[in-house]
Amino acid sequence: MSRSKSMSRLKVNETEINEQATSPSCFPPASAPSARILILGSFPGVTSLEKQQYYAYPRNSFWKIILSLFDLSDSLTYADRIAALIQRNIALWDVLYSCSRLGSLDSAIKARTIVVNDFSTFFTAHPLIKAIFFNGNRAETEFIKKVVPDVNLDHIMLHKLPSTSPAMAALTIDQKQEAWRLIRNYL
């Protein structure tokens, strides 16, 4: 290998290391050992990371859909919303532990920087999980590509739901909510 190719590869490696070192990490799962359902996003957006809350971006319809599905007040605090999910045996987490991206779009995630969460440990601690619901394409794609080969999921159903992100504008909130009703079949 020529010296210039070697040096350029070294620069790429340094860039990858720097991106991973400065990449934010996701939140711990919002869950209890009694969880029977796991809802997985891809990775928190910028607003969520700033506020340290799942789905904090006001235009994301996740909480609107969840609150409606379970007939909960939209005035609930974030802590009460998480508690309401846990009380219903629903866990909330992200597929990616860390990644590098500019902005909040899943399409901006740099594939070489992806580190997935430790699902082996999660499923050991949550043995009653019987269904996983993916909040959009990227969550499902990364889970199937990077988690499924290493974790036994024979007893768990996988379902992709339409993304609650405002970037997924092909469906209305009502159409998304109708698709998300599937969750109630597993409670």
CA distance 182 to 187: 10
Catalytic residue among 13, 18, 60, 89: 60
Query: Cβ of 183: how many Cβ atoms within 10 Å?
Result: 20
Report how far residue 25's alpha carbon sits from residue 49's, in angstroms, rounded to the nearest whole number.
Answer: 9
> Is 60 one of the catalytic residues?
yes
Q: Environment class of residue 3 by beta-carbon count within 10 Å: exposed (0-12), middle (13-18) or buried (19+)?
A: exposed
CA atoms within 13 A on the CB side of 3: 0
Q: Which residues contact 122 (CB under 8 A, 6 or more apart)?
A: 29, 93
Per-residue tokens: 66: 């969840």
Distances (CA, A) of 187 to 55, 67, 102: 22, 15, 37
Active site residues: 60
